[in-house]
Structures are given as structure tokens and as C-alpha cells.
Structure 1
Amino acid sequence: MVGPDDILRFWLDECGPEDWFKSDPAFDQEIRDRFGPTWKAATEGKFALWLTYPSGALAYIILTDQFPRNMFRDNAASFSTDKAALAAAKSAIAKGWDMRIDPPARQFFYMPLEHSENACDQDRAVRLICERMNDAEFLLHARAHREVIRRFGRFPHRNVMLGRATTAAEKAHLDAGGYGAVVRGLQAAEAA
């Protein structure tokens, strides 16, 4: 079975920022092949021991928050372990474990908050990134996530995958470029 060090070595050493947030079918397949069984074990409640120390918690969060977005891209399963990741992230942050992990890896403690469709989680993500990270690009994306939740109370791009009806306002948002348009709007506002 894959352990926390294997996940961290893959995600932080073999891969990097250029891989983390792009859509690449070959990369997604590699994650499915290497970590699919481990993710499945996490859904069955395994790996509680990982949540007892900082790097283990980080590996658990990556496994349950980041990897499903690759393994199940454009499918509701992408979000199926978000609650587990969010609980792990909140617990680790409360213990100050995020501050024991250097950037850029530290950002993954905050990603479950950004992926939450809860406005309080979104506000907390932005606040933590402002206080604990020195990364303007990551902050921009946290603010964009928060803006979408402020407008709609949810992420409209998930509606089809989750079988939710899309409102007229959400459709207009998606037709105008969705999340990418929000990012560009925030960048334009900052430049003005």
C-alpha cells in the first residue's frame, strides 16, 4: 500500500505547480494507476494514523482533495471525498501544522477550504493565505473562488456533474467564461 511519503514525493518532488492545476489525461491516468487503490482505502476510513502528524495530514489532504479532481475529472466523484479533506484540513490548521510545512506545499492545507461551497470556509481560506503565505497568485485564485461562492452560493461548473439545475445567472456566468472570467476581472481591478 502507498504511504504518505509516497504521495508527498510524487506530488511535491516528481510533480510541481506546472502539473497541479492543468488538465492532462495522461497525468490523470497516472494518478489513477498509482493512487486509485489508496484513495479507495481512504474512502473506507483507513489512514486515521496519517492524521496524527503534519506531513501525514498533508498527504491525506492531497489524497482526498487533489487526487480525486484528477482521477475523476468532469465526474461527481471528483468531489466525493471533499468533506474528509475539509475535516482533515481544519483539524491540521487548528493545530498549527500548516505552519510546519513550507510553501508551496502549505497551500494544500487551504485548498479544501477553497473547494468548499461554504462562504465562511472561503473567507477563512483568503484570510489564512493572506496571513500565512506570501503568494499573490495563490491569493488571487482564493479570492476568485470566494467571489464565485459569494455570487452563487455554490460552484456553477459543478452543476451538471452533480445533477443540479443551473440558474439563468449561473448560465450567464458560465457562458461569460466562468471561473476564468472571475480571475481576469479581479486581475483587471487590481491593475486599475
Structure 2
Amino acid sequence: MDDPQSVLDFWLDEVSPEFWYIADPELDLEIRERFGDLWEAALQGGLEHWVEGPAGALAYLIVCDQFSRNLWRGKARAFATDGQARAAARRALEHGWDMGAPEPERQFFYLPFEHSEYPDDQALSVHLFRERMPETGAENLLHAEAHQAIISKFGRFPFRNAALGRENTPEEQAFLDEGGYGAFVETLRTTPALRVVD
């Protein structure tokens, strides 16, 4: 069984940040071969002991909130460990472990809230990116605000509907037909007045 450091070494050192959020079949395959069993262990509750300190918690979040999306891209299982990731992220915040991590890797403590379909989690995500990633978080904040706005509008992420077997509403289908998430982010980027203001 891999240890937390092997996860951190791979994701933070071996994988270039430009590949963290793109669909890359080769990276997905490598994660499946190297860490597929580890994710399954996390799903079954076998890695909870990792969430006892900053490094272990960060590695746990990467497994449950990032590797899950690489392993099960386009499938419902991609979101199967999201609840566990949110619980671990909340514990990390309670202990201040996030602030011990340098930017930009600190973002992985906050992404479980950005990936949530609960409005309160979305508000927390925007707050955390705005207040706790001042140096490198501008792009992260843009995406956090985009996620929050989509949840505010639809109550869920339309781009997950196919994977989760949910039927699109006419409004959601129009959103997807007009470019979906990527187009929405660009609209926010070029129209600052649409962005969230506290």
C-alpha cells in the first residue's frame, strides 16, 4: 500500500500543474495503474488514519477529490469519495493544516467545497480562495466563483448529469449547448461585473 508521501511526490512533483485539470488519457491510465487500489481503499474507509496531520490530509484529499476524477472520468464513481474529501477538508480547516501548505498546493484543501453541489460549501470555497490564496489564487477564485454561480442558477452541475444518470432540464441543455462550463468561465473572465462581490 502506498503511503501519503508517494501520493504527494507523484501529484505535486512528477505531474506538471498544467495537467491537474485537463483530461489526459495517459495520465488517467498511470493513476489507475499506480493508485487505483489506493483509491478503492479510501472508498472503503481504509485511509482515514491519513487525516491526522497536514501531509497525510493533503494526500488523502488528492486521492479522494482528484484521483477519483482521473480514475472514473465520465462515470458516477468519479464523485463517490467527494463526501469523504469534504469531511477531511473540514477537519484540515479546523486544525489550520491548509495554511501550512504553500501555494498553489494549498488549493487541494479547498477544492472539495468547490466540487460540492451544496450552496454553503460553494460560499465557503469562494471565501477560502479569496482570503487564503492571495498570491497564486486569482485563477482558482475565478473558477470557484463560476462553480458557485452555476450552483446558484441550477442547483447542481449540469455537466455531471450524464455521468449521474440525471436528465437535463431545458435550461441546463441550453447551458451545455452554448459551451457549458468553459464558455461560462470565459464570460466571467471577460465580464468582471458578473463576478461575485461580497
For the Cα contact (< 8 Å) 1:51–1:88, is it kept in 2? yes
Aligned to 2:18: 18
For the Cα contact (< 8 Å) 1:144–1:182, is it kept in 2? yes
2:112 and 2:96 mapped to 1: Cα distance?
16
Equivalent AA in structure 2 for residue 144 of structure 1? A
- With normalisation by structure 1, the TM-score equals 0.97
Report the 3-state secondary structure (helix = DSSP H, G, I; strand = E; otherwise coil) of the residue aligned with 2:191: helix
Deviations 1:125-166 (A, max 9, x none): 000111100221111111111111111010001111111111
2:184 and 2:152 mapped to 1: Cα distance?
12
Report percent identity of matched pairs: 53
Structure 2 stretches lacking a partner, 5+ long: none
Report the alpha carbon displacement of residue 191 of structure 1 after superposing the two structures with TM: 8.4
Aligned to 1:60: 60
Aligned to 1:174: 176
2:178 and 2:128 mapped to 1: Cα distance?
30
Report the 3-state secondary structure (helix = DSSP H, G, I; strand = E; otherwise coil) of the residue aligned with 1:154: coil
Task: Pick from 151, 154, 157 the counterpart of residue 152 of structure 1.
Answer: 154
Aligned to 1:139: 141
2:150 and 2:16 mapped to 1: Cα distance?
26
Displaced runs of 4 or more, over 4 A: none
After superposition, residues 2-151 of structure 1 pair within 5 angstroms as 2-134=2-134, 135-151=137-153
30-39 or 88-97, which deviates more = 88-97
Report the 3-state secondary structure (helix = DSSP H, G, I; strand = E; otherwise coil) of the residue aligned with 2:156: coil
Equivalent AA in structure 2 for residue 87 of structure 1? A
The size of the alignment, in residue pairs, is 192
Report the 3-state secondary structure (helix = DSSP H, G, I; strand = E; otherwise coil) of the residue aligned with 1:117: coil
Aligned to 1:165: 167
1:118 and 1:48 mapped to 2: Cα distance?
23
For the Cα contact (< 8 Å) 1:147–1:182, is it kept in 2? no
1:139 and 1:128 mapped to 2: Cα distance?
9
For the Cα contact (< 8 Å) 1:119–1:150, is it kept in 2? yes
